[in-house]
Structure 1
Amino acid sequence: MSEVYGSARPRRRWGRRLLVTFLVLLIIVAVVLAVADRFAASYAEREISDRVAQQVADQKATAEQPDVTVEGIPFLTQVAAGKYREIKIVVRNFSGPVEKNQTIKMPELDIRAKDVTAPLDTLRTGNGDIVAGSVTGAGTIDYANLADLIPQQGLKLSERDGKLIAEAPIKALNQTWDVSGAATIEVKGGVVRVRFAEVTADGLPNVPVVNALVDSYVRNLALDLKVPALPLGLQVTKVEARPEGLVVTTAARNVPLNSGGL
């Protein structure tokens, strides 16, 4: 009996070694795949970043190198399926030209491309289309920058109860009056139209000369703002006055990412 038991023990030890070896190899393979997955994702993110940066430059705008993140793990399974959940693109310190040598500045332009279709064969051969089903973006124009675009001395812009408020001094009858007014904001054909009304001032006399000055003040505040060309063909869809500034919401659909769209 001792001989039988003696021959069984080495086999059990060998089985344990084989299991440990298998587990170690499995861990190594998992680590290699994880590293390969992140390497592939990083490569794709750099490529997209470079293309967005080039498009910003082509539009005569400036910005920092875009930060790109391909959402979803693992990345390689998305490559194999030819579908990507979301690509996040953050463009910081965007500055684009508008009329009269003026610029619009956005500290951060946050872009999301969703439902991206990129067949594996297209990636391999370069033939075919890579398309984002939807692209959205949001950026903020601070009020100091916006005030610079309006020819009114001493103008200060702010938000109150969700409305854009303008305040500025005007002189009449050898006095200076602080007047203020609320604006309506709408988007038409990619142009942001800002129109002020309800201009008031405490103690402002109701006389023709003063009324004429107020009317001139209101006319000078009118602004048709054409937002500069944005990456990925984004178009302005909505503008809102918020405490931090004028928030511009943009969108585009069925955007080609391997041709003119990117």
Structure 2
Amino acid sequence: MTEEHPYQGERPQRQRGRRVLVVLLILLLVLIGLLVTADRVAAGMAERVLADQVRTEIAQQNVEAGPPEVEIGGFPFVTQVLDGRYKRISIGLREVRGSVQGDVLALPTLDIDAHDVTASLDTLRSGQGEVVAGSVTGTGTVSYDSLAARLDQEGLRLGERDGKLVVTAPVDILGERLPVTGTADLKVDQGRVALRFTNLTAEGMPSGPLARVLLNNFAQGISVDVPLPELPFDLTVREVRPLPEGLQVTAEAAEVPINAAG
């Protein structure tokens, strides 16, 4: 007669229990994956609706730009929909142009972050109704070429060095064409960027007060107030800062409708 080991019956039960646990974990992961996918699909649909409305809004403000790219931040999206409140909505605009006194200043990029946004489910579903942001910040870049064109000086070039706006230009001083370099002080005033060029130097400049007067006159001639293009969403420029790729413009606004229906 064969003696039965007391643990032989427990091993198959443990193995079955482990298999059941593994199956449940797999099902849970699949369910989570489906929920995340559904959440992202719903967010994508809402982003497309908002992108269409933003396109209409900026067109009404006579601002030209490429197709807006909209991203709704925060996860999960569904809980924000139910609450009708969104932490952040990012809007990316490219090749932004606005008419300024007959000229056109270009912003290759304008990145807008809308915070504390309210929008009902019906608004996102139908595209009708208000989408209002508690606060909006925008960061754009004015190309140095477009700024240099405004100064209207042959051979003048602008750039950035050590956090300063730098100018280089050939200048006629006492019959000699000399390379001039210098930096500019920047200030924002009522939608305009005040450029005040200081500390200009000319390599090989003749000595004497007349040469210095001519150099100072050139500095005054290129020290101008540059009007910026009208920005969407009532954005008001607060700061300008030179970067290697262009002059960065930072703007702000509060309690702003970000869709045409608003």
Query: Does structure 1 retain, via aligned residues, the 8 Å contact 2:54–2:259?
Result: no
Quote the offset at 1:20 in angstroms. 11
Q: Which residue of structure 1 aligns with residue 42 of structure 2?
A: 40
- Alpha-carbon distance between aligned partners in 1 of 2:172 and 2:192, rounded to the nearest angstrom: 32
Q: TM-score, normalised by structure 1?
A: 0.80
Indicate which of 88, 95, 98 corresponds to 1:96: 98
Q: Which residue of structure 2 aligns with residue 172 of structure 1?
A: 173
Query: Does structure 1 retain, via aligned residues, the 8 Å contact 2:95–2:108?
Result: yes
Q: Which residue of structure 1 aligns with residue 73 of structure 2?
A: 71
Give 3-state SS (helix, strand or coil) of 1:232's partner: coil
Give 3-state SS (helix, strand or coil) of 1:134's partner: strand
Q: Which residue of structure 2 aligns with residue 8 of structure 1?
A: none
Q: TM-score, normalised by structure 2?
A: 0.80
- CA 1:207/1:240 → structure 2, altered by over 3 Å: closer, same or farther? same
Which range is displaced more, 174-183 or 31-40? 31-40
- CA 1:118/1:206 → structure 2, altered by over 3 Å: closer, same or farther? same
Query: Does structure 2 retain, via aligned residues, the 8 Å contact 1:151–1:220?
Result: no
Q: Percent identity of the aligned residues?
A: 44
Higher relative contact order at CA 8 Å, sep ≥6: structure 1 or structure 2? 2
Pair 1:196 & 2:197 matched? yes
Q: Which residue of structure 1 aligns with residue 241 of structure 2?
A: 240
When the two chains are superposed, the root-mean-square deviation of aligned CA atoms in Å is 3.1
Query: Does structure 1 retain, via aligned residues, the 8 Å contact 2:194–2:225?
Result: yes
Residue type at the aligned position of 2:206:
P
Which range is displaced more, 175-184 or 28-37? 28-37
> Structure 2: which 5+ residue stretches go unaligned?
1-19
Which range is displaced more, 84-93 or 171-180? 171-180
Q: Which residue of structure 1 aligns with residue 149 of structure 2?
A: 148
- Alpha-carbon distance between aligned partners in 2 of 1:187 and 1:260, rounded to the nearest angstrom: 32
Q: Which residue of structure 2 aligns with residue 55 of structure 1?
A: 57
How many residue pairs end up in the alignment? Answer: 246
Pair 1:230 & 2:231 matched? yes
Q: Which residue of structure 1 aligns with residue 134 of structure 2?
A: 133
Query: Does structure 1 retain, via aligned residues, the 8 Å contact 2:64–2:97?
Result: yes
Q: Which residue of structure 2 aligns with residue 205 of structure 1?
A: 206
